[in-house]
Structure formats: structure tokens, C-alpha cells
Structure 1
């Protein structure tokens, strides 16, 4: 299976930037994209993914791409140079502010357009997310079957359900339903599905079809990556791979917690 990796780093992290502005002890991080925050002994959050990807056969020179924006492209290019990732693998979506952002799914499509040939599977990774240390990328990749996509799930409690995308699966673990931030009484499932999607080549035109169907609608219809999953699952099998949990950098406290966790387990 030929696979490339696409890390999403085009968001503007407005909540984190507000938190940083109000905390003088972290002013040195103002303006730093979440994906490039120093974290747990690495220079940047996404360097954790870079190390894991290269340890599992992904080539820095050929297989790893990052989508970012005009405001942050220079910082991502600096990261790429430090880690021998080609500068033309840092993909600039051209936006300059949170108000003009393309949205998460258009940024996935922007990356897919750059990753050729179209017969390539693509692992889409949220640039503000890491998994707990038990995660085994090799096992995840080995579970991928031709003609289906593969995503991760982890169990959350009732209080978290309204904050995340929840999937319902059949007995074999194939997704039968996707709900974006439901109330706990809307579903018996407690399986959250983070942005870590191994897209089969047959899914790539479906992402485009989803965006075509969303044309003219508001950003809320295609900004969350789960919106694309909701479109995909009736059209292509989406298998699931259980993980123990994830750490998502949203605001300052979650960054502090993530930094402490990875510093203690690195």
C-alpha cells in the first residue's frame, strides 16, 4: 500500500492565542501555530508525528506534507528545513486570518490535490492532536484493507460527548452513523473519532463530491473534519481502530497538560 501523510496546520488557534495573551508567562508563544508549539522534549508538536511516521517507513523526502496558511507558512518552512522535509511539501492555502480560513475539509482537499498520484492512500492527521503513548502506528497501518478507510476511536464519558464527533459502529467495527457533538441522550455510543483518517484512494473523489455538494453553504457545513466522515460512511466502508485516548491542544491549559504528559513519558 502506497501511503502519504497530510498534517493539517492551517487553523488559527484563536482560543489558544487569547489564552496566551492573558498569561504573561506564555507570551513567548504568541503567534506560534498549535502544530509548532514546543512539546514534550520535541521542538514542535508535529515533530512527534514526524518521528513516528519516519519510524514506520514514511520518507521525509517523499511522503510527508503539511497544509498551512499564508500567516504561518514561514514558520512551517523553518520547521521543514530543520527536519529535512522538502519546502514544496509545505502547502500554503493562501489565507491570512481566521475570518478568511478555508475550513478543515477544504484544506484536506487542498492537500489531496498536491499529493499524486490519485491512487495513493493518504493519512490525514490533525496538527493539534497527539495520541497517548500506547498508540502503535504500525498496528494501525497494518489493519487497513483495500477499498475501505480506517479511522481511530476512543471511549469518552457523557460529559465529553457534546464536545466531540461520535460514531456508531456495527459488530465488525465499521461505522454506521456519525454525529457531530451530540447530546448524550441522542446516541448510546461513546466512541469519539478524532481527526486521524487513513483515506483509501476511492475516498479521494468523495471528498471533492462532498465539497461540491456544500458549495454555497456556510463554513459550519465543512469546517469540521467530521462533516466529511458523515458524508463518506454511507458511500465507502469506514473501519475503526481503537486507541486508549488522545491529547488535543485547544487552549493553554490543555497545552500545559500535554507538555507535562509527553515530557514525563518521552
Structure 2
């Protein structure tokens, strides 16, 4: 199985750290944030290749990162593939779903695929996630029960599930959530979903991975894979990044 890591955004909310530097390569725990996403994928034993899709503005940064990561982890260069979506500003970005479609086509992804964003820190088991997906063969979304609707309100994507864990609905940052269950931008898609991306992009928003899930629910089955709420976090704003690196010195290189 291949994994696609979406890293082509411009992280305007994280300025000034990301004014001239890509968010996924900011240091957390003494190494680039992206390492915390990619290393568990390869260590799971279930991912053959990690495709990192970035933009033209930061391509050189990611190329250096990829070469260094492979050298430090004694990996064949074929295990990490860095692509540019050709954009250079936030205004001409392709959006996360546009980047997903672009990466899948350019890297010739033809099988089932793990998809996530490059700003995730997680401790849950990818092997267990993929095993659950393989048992059902349906779209699998990592979710967590926050325990309170107020925790989700206006902040996170929200899914409604039945007793079997099937996803019934998805809403992006709803004012009136239907449940306390947060949808995390971490998915396993059957190979067939890749063929639907051009159709989706003809009429739907290319931004926010959850929008694709919402659209797919009218066409495909999907299930929630529940992780502990403490097992996943993302870096979206200066305060969340500074909390992660304190008391370390913020380092950009």
C-alpha cells in the first residue's frame, strides 16, 4: 500500500514561523514534524512507498529533507517520493483534494492508499488501522470521541456513526454537531476511490479533506476507526506549535 502525505499548503495561520519555511519541516522533538508522520508509516510494515506532495515554493526544502531522511534511516530512495504540485502562492494552491488527485496520478498510485496531512502527530497503530480497513474493504476514517459536543462545535470535522461504526454523516466544523466524535484527516481509501476524484473536482471544493468524505458518503460505505483522543494532535496555529516545542528553542533549518 502507498501513503500520500499532503504537504502543499502555505500554513498562513502559523506565521511568522511559516512565512518562508514549510510547516511540516518545523522541528518538534528535535526533528522535522514530518518525520513523526512518515517514520511510523514505514515502521508499520504495511506501507511500501510514501509520496509527499508539496508546492514549487518549498520543493527544494522537501527534496533535501527526503534525501536526509532516507540516508538517516538507511532507506532506498524509492521508498520516499517528493512531488511538487507546481503552485507557488496560497492564492493558486490546488487544495488538499486537488493535491491528492495530482499526487495519485503523477505517482501512478493504483492500489489502496493511506492519506493524511503533514501536520499530524499520532501514537495510534497504523498496522491496526490498515488491518481494520482490509477486513471491511470500505473507506476508513480515523476518529476520536471527544466526550463532548462542545469540544467539536465550530472547531473540528464531525461524524455521526451507528452502533457498528458505520459513518452516517459528516459535517465540517458544525455549529450544532450531531455527535461528540471528531473526524481526523487520516483515511484509508480503496483503490476505486481514486477514480472518482476527477468527478468530485468538477463540481466540489478542492479544499478540506473532509469535504471528500462528505461527498463520498452518498456513494460509498465508510467506517470510523476510533482512536484515543490523546493519540493524535495537529499543529495549526502558533500557540499549538509553541506548546509542543516549549521549553525547547524553536529551530528552523
Answer yes or no: same fold by TM over 0.5: yes
Query: How far did 1:88 drift?
Result: 8.0
| Aligned pair partner of 2:125 in 119, 124, 136 | 136
Task: Answer yes or no: is the 8 Å Cα contact 1:166–1:193 preserved in 2.
Answer: yes
| Aligned pair partner of 2:23 in 23, 31, 34 | 34
Query: How far did 1:261 drift?
Result: 10
| Aligned pair partner of 1:173 in 165, 173, 178 | 165
Q: Per-residue displacement from partner, 1:185-210 (whole Å, max 9, x unpaired)?
A: xx331111111111111211122221
Q: How many residues align?
A: 237
Query: Any gaps of 5 or more consecutive residues in structure 1?
Result: 21-28, 215-220
1:241-252 alignment runs, 5 A limit: 241-245=225-229, 246-252=232-238
Q: Confirm or deny that 1:196 pairs with 2:186.
A: yes
Q: Confirm or deny that 1:115 pairs with 2:99.
A: no
- Residue equivalent to 2:251: none
* SS across alignment from 1:194: strand
1:52-71 alignment runs, 5 A limit: 52-58=40-46, 63-71=49-57
Task: Answer yes or no: is the 8 Å Cα contact 1:46–1:127 preserved in 2.
Answer: yes
Q: Per-residue displacement from partner, 1:84-110 (whole Å, max 9, x unpaired)?
A: 244982110010011111111101111
Query: How far did 1:253 drift?
Result: 1.3
Query: How far did 1:58 drift?
Result: 4.9
Task: Answer yes or no: is the 8 Å Cα contact 2:49–2:80 preserved in 1.
Answer: no
| Aligned pair partner of 2:117 in 126, 147, 162 | 126
| Aligned pair partner of 1:239 in 202, 223, 244 | 223
Q: Confirm or deny that 1:72 pairs with 2:58.
A: yes
Task: Answer yes or no: is the 8 Å Cα contact 2:151–2:180 preserved in 1.
Answer: no
Task: Answer yes or no: is the 8 Å Cα contact 2:46–2:127 preserved in 1.
Answer: no
Q: Distance in 2 between matches of 1:117 and 1:93?
A: 16
